Chains A and B, each alone.
Chain A
């Protein structure tokens, strides 16, 4: 039996045609996406994660569709796979901040209870920054190299500021499916449909800080404050957590990422390097605006409590 026929039989579809072979199929129940899992443990973690988040009744999410036998995953000749809905319409966050805030707070709440993972908090040191620059090819465009070196000084300073903030104990950090961006929010029948990434689970708030940075870039300071107030209203995150988010936002992850990409692009591709630097500057600026707005918001919260 071919892959498609096996899928149709297992999920009880009467009609099914590949849109993208092995990845996406059109059925009488809508378009479905196949996700293959090389790591069964990771798949099981994501099944548990999505079921736990869904249990909070926050919004629709890309859960695993059950087979006709009621299983959440299917084993075929190529290994384990899960089936999901394809939702392409992007969620509009404006004036519906509460829906997305519920998801963010809910994910954090679930993350604080998730067990059975050996995920570690991603750590950045000054040595990591220096090594990233050292790894660049010696014949890298001199202008690119000069920009990188100047930015390195700033990156080290940012890391220094991050390290002055109190860090939460490793065991108190949530373990979550990493946030990958605003585009995770989709919309179906006017409802938020959240597409979890399925990546390796992450400990801590690194990706959440990145998500908030992107939110800040898209919605501006005012929009960010509305969103943060909504998240805060669910009373899942405390000041400790917010300072941890601030710490992660200060860590210059974008510097390391860019240096790695320039290294991979090679010295013979300076145009690509300039594009990457452009992107990094944009992200750098986004981080700066976010950190300012966010720390102001955290201070404001503190004042409210004090008064």
Chain B
């Protein structure tokens, strides 16, 4: 956090008739202290179209009565956004984030419950189009094939070296498991497309798009308020859940029971269809996070040491193994 002069923000705050007494800077967010209260001013690079969509989303959330959102304050001219050159700003009331609550609450559960409520309120059956479904499948499959090929090349290069680096050695040790997971992901993806074609239906929900704990502020009662809907999209709930689960998987130790509990918490408010479960599993099973470690390793300007990269890779492999167990539990054949 830094405190600096706020002349550059003056013309933006003029739109709100706010005269700052003190400004603290937290990355892209400025905490504005004024005689009329404390506010959060967010600086973004939203284009005009993205900005229009963002406003549409915020208005829609208000209209449907989804109140677990940090609201965006309108300017004195009735705008939600203020543009300055290439930057776009918006203002919110400053919500103090609480870490301790009056009753024991799990942040992860709250986020899942509120996400499920958001999805439930915005659920919409899309006009079925086999071409659209097939195009989504083909596009993802192509991307995955490309990534697999890249990783196979990396494995080949590593194998041909006289002395492998610790990172390369770790990667090769687990390469077979990664391939298996990629295949499992593709199988689930195929199940999803087949089931959609059979049902001739698919649905979308409003997805936050970048859900993680840093985009939710909690009050003293443990209610979470979502912020940063800048990348919100209409998409399958599986996509949102996959993003959130990946975030959970990487931010804390977890096991199969916890994974099942998280999914159950979400589904208490919004049940996934079978095909959506397959899609969720395909997103989670594909070893993209492991491949991302390789990208970091191959980046010539990398800032991490070999040890940090190996640790990074190991954590992701560990998570992948847990995902495998979760997948097996969720999709195991019922016992006779």
Which of A's residues lie within 8 Å of B, judged by CB? 28-30, 54, 57, 60, 63-66, 70, 72, 85, 188-191
Contact = CB atoms under 8 A, between A and B. Distances in A.
Contacts of B17: 29-30
A188 B77 CA distance: 16
Interface in B57-106: 74, 76-78, 83
Name the 8 nearest CB pairs between A and B, nearest first.
Answer: A189-B10, A29-B17, A189-B11, A191-B11, A66-B78, A57-B83, A63-B77, A65-B76
B77 A66 contact: yes
Contacts of A189: 7, 10-11, 14
B76 to A, nearest CB: 5
Nearest to A70: B78
Nearest to A66: B78
B14 A188 contact: yes
Contacts, number: 33
A65 B77 contact: yes
B73 to A, nearest CB: 12
B11 to A, nearest CB: 4
A286 B77 CA distance: 38
Contacts of A85: 14
A72 B11 CA distance: 21
A189 B16 CA distance: 14
Contacts of A63: 77
B229 to A, nearest CB: 21
Contacts of B78: 66, 70, 72
A66 B14 CA distance: 14
Nearest to A83: B76
Contacts of A188: 10-11, 14
A29 B34 CA distance: 11
Interface of B: 7, 10-11, 14, 17, 35-36, 74, 76-78, 83
Contact of A54 (B7, B35, B77): B77
Nearest to A87: B14
24 contacts: A28-B36, A29-B17, A29-B76, A30-B17, A54-B77, A64-B77, A65-B76, A65-B77, A66-B74, A66-B76, A66-B77, A70-B74, A72-B78, A85-B14, A188-B10, A188-B11, A188-B14, A189-B7, A189-B10, A189-B11, A190-B7, A190-B10, A190-B11, A191-B11
Contacts of A30: 17
Contacts of A28: 35-36
Contacts of A54: 77
A30 B74 CA distance: 18
A57 B14 CA distance: 15
B34 to A, nearest CB: 11
Nearest to A29: B17
Contacts of B11: 60, 188-191
Contacts of A29: 17, 76
Contacts of B10: 188-190
A65 B74 CA distance: 11
Given A29-B76, A72-B78, A60 B14 contact: yes
Nearest to A65: B76
A137 B11 CA distance: 53
B163 to A, nearest CB: 58
A70 B14 CA distance: 18
Nearest to B85: A57
Contacts of A60: 11, 14
Nearest to B75: A66
A64 B75 CA distance: 11
Contacts of B36: 28
A191 B77 CA distance: 17
A158 B80 CA distance: 51
Query: Taking each of B35, B77, B83, which has the highest tally of chain A beta carbons within 10 Å of its own beta carbon?
Result: B77
A60 B36 CA distance: 23
Query: Taking each of B10, B14, B74, which has the highest tally of chain A beta carbons within 10 Å of its own beta carbon?
Result: B14
Query: Taking each of B7, B74, B78, which has the highest tally of chain A beta carbons within 10 Å of its own beta carbon?
Result: B78
A143 B7 CA distance: 57
Contacts of A57: 83
B54 to A, nearest CB: 16
Query: Taking each of A63, A64, A65, A189, which has the highest tally of chain B beta carbons within 10 Å of its own beta carbon?
Result: A189
B39 to A, nearest CB: 14
A28 B78 CA distance: 19
A53 B75 CA distance: 17
A64 B10 CA distance: 20
B63 to A, nearest CB: 15
